[in-house]
Chain A
Amino acid sequence: MSNMQDTITTPDGIKIYYKDWGKGQPDRLLPWVAALLGRLGRAADVLSQSRLPRDRA
C-alpha cells in the first residue's frame, strides 16, 4: 500500500492536491482475530458461569 501525496497542475495553472493511498490489501488478520475473540469470549462466559454459585455464596 503506497501513501502518495501529490499535486497536479491544471491547464490554467492551478495546483490540485490529492492523496492516492494506492491499492489496499484485504485484511486477512480480521477473521482470525474475530475467531480468537469469540473463543475467548465463550471461555470467559463458561468461567463466569462456573463461578456464579460461589460468588453468590
Chain B
Amino acid sequence: MFFLSRGYRVIAHERRGHGRSSQIPDGHDHYAQDLAALVTHLELKDAVHIGHSTGGGEVARHGAKRVAKAVLISSVPPIMVKTPANPGGLPKEVFDGFQAQVAGNRAQFYLDLATGPFYGFNRPGANVKEGVIRNWWRQGMMGGAKAHYDGIVAFSQTDFTPDLKEIMVPTLVMHGDDDQIVPYADSGPLTAKIVKNATLKTYRGFPHGMCTTQADTINADLLAFIKS
C-alpha cells in the first residue's frame, strides 16, 4: 500500500512450492527462472527488484535483465552455510536441524520461528504482535512441506557469489544487525563488498523481519533509494 499510494506499480509472485504456486520442490535456479518468466510475461522494463531473505537470492541470481535497481533485504547471499571459503557461515548441522523440524512437526516449528527469532519477539521488551505471528504461520503452512524441506538446502547452500559479481545496477543492501535468521556479519556486509555498485544500510537492533516490525523506516529508505 505504501508504494501504491505513491504512484508505483507493485507486483509480487509466490515462489514455486510456496503459497498458491505449484507445490513442487525445487531450488534457486528455477526460482530465478520463474522470476525471469514473470518479468517477460508482464513485459516489465526498468523495474526495481526487491527481495527479502531467500527472495534476495532470487534477485541476485535473476541478474540485471530489465532491472533498473535491486534491493536485497535481510538476504541470504553470498552463502549461509559454513565452508572453507566462508568460515563465518553457520554450520551445516544448523540447517540439518531445520530440516528435521520441518519433517517432524512443521506447524510447531513455524510457530516457534514466528514467535521467537524471526521478528525478534524473543528479545526482552519486544513489542510482540499476535497478528503478525499468525500471518507468518498462515503463509508458511500454505506452502508444500517437501518444497520447504528442499528449500532449506537451496537458501543455505547456494553460493551466490558469482551472481553478485554480475550485478551492475545500483543495489541497496539492507540488513539488521540483530538478524537471528540470516546473521548480519556473514551476509549483508559481504554482499555489499562483492556487488560493484552497492550501498549497505545497517539497522541497529533490527530483526530479520524488519520489513514488518519497522515498516515505516524500511519503506522510507526504499522510497529514497528508488527516487535517487
Report A's interface with B, CB cutoff 8 A: 1, 7-8, 10-12, 14-27, 30
Report B's interface with A, CB cutoff 8 A: 3-14, 16, 19-22, 24, 26, 30, 33-34, 37-38, 41-42
Asked if A1 and B4 sit within 8 Å, CB to CB, the answer is yes
Which of A1, A16, A23, A26 has a CB less than 8 Å from the CB of B38? A16
Which of B9, B11, B33 has a CB less than 8 Å from the CB of A10? B33
Which of A7, A11, A18 has a CB less than 8 Å from the CB of B11? A18
Asked if A21 and B34 sit within 8 Å, CB to CB, the answer is no
Asked if A18 and B38 sit within 8 Å, CB to CB, the answer is yes
**Chain A residues, CB < 8 A from B19:** 17
Q: What separation, in Å, do the CA atoms of A12 and B29 have in the docked complex?
A: 13
User: In whole Å, how far is A5's beta carbon from the nearest beta carbon of chain B?
Assistant: 9
Q: What separation, in Å, do the CA atoms of A31 and B176 have in the docked complex?
A: 32
User: In whole Å, how far is B48's beta carbon from the nearest beta carbon of chain A?
Assistant: 14
Q: What separation, in Å, do the CA atoms of A24 and B34 have in the docked complex?
A: 25
Which of B5, B12, B33 has a CB less than 8 Å from the CB of A18? B12
Q: What separation, in Å, do the CA atoms of A17 and B139 have in the docked complex?
A: 14
